[in-house]
Amino acid sequence: MERKEQTYLDSIFEKYLKARRIFKNKEVLRHSYTPKELPHRREQIETLAHILVPVLRGETPSNVFVYGKTGTGKTVTVKFVTEELKKISQRYGIPVDVIYLNCEIVDTQYRVLANIVNYFKHESGFEVPLVGWPTDEVYKKLKDVIDARERFVIIVLDEIDKLIKKSGDDILYSLTRINTELNNAKVSVIGISNDLKFKEYLDPRVLSSLSEEEVVFPPYDANQLRDILMQRAREAFYPDVLDDAVVPLCAALAAREHGDARRALDLLRVSGEIAEREGASKVTEKHVWKAQEKIEQDTMEEVIKTLPLHSKILLYSIVLLDENGDLPANTGDVYAVYKELCDYMDVEPLTQRRISDLINELDMLGIINAKVVSKGRYGRTKEIRLNVTPYKVKNIYRFDYSLQPLLPVNIAIQRRLF
């Protein structure tokens, strides 16, 4: 039996190996790839370069905040400019270290400090554990390690708004004042944020210590996205495997998503993957539409997985109402079920007003539809419907430990709720 299965697997791999290859270098379409040129970002590149050029004169550059929606080229531009700065600084004999941290992952003050210290571990021979030390001890070690010799250290905090919202702004205060405590090294911070109102979360003492400059990245339009995709496609695909309509369609679909270049690149990459899987000799519009559907499904799943606990309980309330044939429902109906589920899980329920806010958030995320309708002399009310299937939500919840108590609800207590 095992021999037959092995032969079957061998034949599958052989089949795909012999099929016509679509991709020459798929990595070019990844978000992490930094191209040699960045179309339609010359103004932002020049502004960042102007802010950082004091490094080449031995002076400390200003701190920088980079703003823009997802997929507007913020991260790739910062990486592009800082990599070029490192190359030129080597020519001038000026030591520059660029430390890039994704604050969606490195999301506490301790982790930020520890990661900076550990960046220099091969030089210092020392490594801070990712948990366990007092934060002030880690900060002291950071100063010692950085100040071991003359150098410029540029710390890039990507998605900095997520770090500040979760852990407060003490880390930013420390990093923006650290130069007053150093003798040899000079430090500057580049913060990258999707939230244009990010600075509203900062304490006045932090704002006064920043001395920052700002660079704003506007969304791309469809023509600009097409140029970006054409540039990447030349490196990513073999000649003549893309139908002429593929790149314009990917660009047009991504332009509808506030000019998101990441979405455009994902569409083009997934279109190629689907074509390759099907054994097609060319990527066509049909593959783009399939890719669009797949990405939307994957995105929705990720959004639901990362919802806060009360939003997940709220969503499950709407799922139960849907399964019982009681949608559309109003906020009061949903809140009644939500309270029952909180009681079942031994969780303190939020107020109805707060739940109304969470309903609006689920609506904005596209998980539900919450439309205000007029009931004539009875006034206006919100009609709530699901935009995903109950099965999809339940399937996601199956793998979420915190929601395990909810899974038998449709069998055990749904009758009591209704």
Q: Is 74 annotated as a binding residue?
A: yes
Q: Is 220 annotated as a binding residue?
A: yes
Q: Is 232 annotated as a binding residue?
A: yes
d(Cα 27, Cα 269) in Å, to the nearest integer? 9
387 contacts 327 by C-beta, under 8 angstroms: no
Two tokens, residue 93: 């004999």
**3-class SS at 273?**
helix
213 contacts 64 by C-beta, under 8 angstroms: yes
Two tokens, residue 172: 């930013």
Per the listing, tokens 């949903």 go with 334
d(Cα 114, Cα 105) in Å, to the nearest integer? 13
CA gyration radius for the chain?
Answer: 26
Q: C-alpha distances in angstroms, 321 versus 24, 64, 218, 220, 315?
A: 49, 48, 41, 40, 10
Q: C-alpha distances in angstroms, 83 versus 27, 106, 282?
A: 19, 22, 36
d(Cα 39, Cα 52) in Å, to the nearest integer? 21
191 contacts 63 by C-beta, under 8 angstroms: yes
For residue 251, count CB atoms less than 10 angstroms from its CB and return exposed for 0-12, middle for 13-18, buried for 19 or more: buried
Q: Is 73 annotated as a binding residue?
A: yes
Task: Name the binding residues.
Answer: 72-76, 220, 232
Task: Name the binding residues for ATP.
Answer: 72-76, 220, 232
